[in-house]
Amino acid sequence: MPRRARIVVGGYPMHVILRGIDRAAVFFADDDRRLLLMRAAALARAESVAVHAYVLMTNHVHLLLTAPTDAGVPTFMKRLAQSYVQYVNRTYQRTGPLFEGRFRSSVIETDEYLLACQRYIELNPLRAALVKSPADYPWSSYRANALGTPDPVVTAHPLYATLGGSDAERQAAYRRLFADEIDEQLLTRIRDSVNGGFVLGNVRFERQIAAMLGRRTWRGAPGRPRAERPDEDQGDLPLSS
């Protein structure tokens, strides 16, 4: 059975997950993480891709990206993964693949879900019980978005600019978003969308993207109308959310 084509639409943000094979580790030292971030920053410039948020976990990577063309994100991800695998194989004298065959992804509706997705990504280390505050984790975009720490990887989404009239106001407003936990139903929707390769948005947005692509962009529920489809919770392992 042929695999379903990935949903990619230029100009819309995408939540992307790149996982190690069988959930195995993909980072073995801090230098590995530094190398991947350096490559990500360079490739983002080369491919005109904006990276709004990221987190590097032990066995996977989350990214929130926007590219101007349909080919932008897939090309960026292919080059980033290939470059990093070559580095790991050379550094640790190993052979073969490191990541799953395909990155997982979801197109995100900006107004309702972009900042929620950023929070989901940057809160990964807390859900894995690695730190008590997102600011304590050095391998994410939180410090750039919430504290103004310079980060060559991060480019703020235009929606971020609406949080305040100055950098300090925007950063303070962004930090306030983290005062409350993400609703479990929203967590489930974010997970289901990216793991299933579907759109994350309201019904109108799903229909809009479906009309652009000429195919369904939401999880199917045979025999039940779309409006009555319940969300399904796939859950996470502690280091694999």
Condensed to tens digits (0 to 9), the pLDDT of residues 106-158 reads 999 999 899 999 999 999 999 999 999 999 999 999 999 999 999 999 999 99
pLDDT tens digits, one per residue of 8-39? 888 999 999 999 999 999 999 999 999 999 99
pTM assigned to the model: 0.88
What is the distance between the alpha carbons of residues 76 and 131, in angstroms, rounded to a whole number? Answer: 30
Nearest to 112 by CA among 186, 167, 184, 54: 186
Domains and CATH numbers, the chain: 14-212 (3.30.70.1290)
CA distances (Å), origin 116, targets 94, 122, 200, 201, 220: 38, 10, 11, 11, 24
**What mean pLDDT is predicted for residues 47-66?**
98
pLDDT at residue 224, as a whole number? 46
What is the distance between the alpha carbons of residues 66 and 228, in angstroms, rounded to a whole number? Answer: 31
- Residue 102's pLDDT band, with cuts at 50, 70 and 90, is confident
* β-bridge mates for residue 15, sequence order: 64, 106
